[in-house]
Amino acid sequence: MKIRSVQLNDWSAMAAIYQQGIDTGNATMETRAPLPEAMANAYMTSPQLVAVEAGTVIGYALLTAVSGRCVFSGVAEVSLYVDAAHRGKGVGQQLLNQLIIESETKNLWTLQASIFPENTASIALHKRCGFREIGHHERIGKRAGIWRNILLLERRSTQVGID
């Protein structure tokens, strides 16, 4: 497996992996993946990472700015998805660790993750990579007609924003 920057032709595979996550019912509030073009425009341009095995994208990690306000310029939200056939094999951990390293080169001091409490694998992964639970949103939105809660996790850099 190799981790590299996203290329233009990766977005279709990434959208398919995102749809797999959507189909679990415990990865996102979304109900269907956006078109690859819309997906490409929804995230920060860097870092954008994919895990590739035998020429096939098997996972990805992206960041979204949490605010347009300059005081939050070093804060981003993680989006991390792994192909169903490759979950539980360390792909997500390698992607998230590399995303953390690259985020610090972009002067990001805090990474956040919003995760359904039922998604115990994602919570455990983020905690292994240095995230800690800082709170939750109760009944933040409906998914399939059911009110859902979200856990809030964050990782504060030990390299950036420490002054």
pLDDT per residue, tens digit, the chain (163 aa), is: 999 999 999 999 999 999 999 999 999 999 999 888 888 888 877 899 999 999 999 999 999 999 999 999 999 999 999 999 999 999 999 999 999 999 999 999 999 999 999 999 999 999 999 999 999 999 999 999 999 999 999 999 999 998 8
Write out pLDDT tens, residues 110-149.
999 999 999 999 999 999 999 999 999 999 999 999 999 9
Asked whether 76 and 43 are in contact (CB, 8 A), the reply is no
User: Which domains does the chain carry?
Assistant: 2-156 (3.40.630.30)
Asked whether 138 and 83 are in contact (CB, 8 A), the reply is no
**Three-state secondary-structure class, residue 82:** strand
Which whole-number Å values give the CA distances from 75 to 11, 38, 59, 163, in the listed order? 24, 22, 23, 16
Q: pTM value? A: 0.94
Write out pLDDT tens, residues 106-115.
999 999 999 9
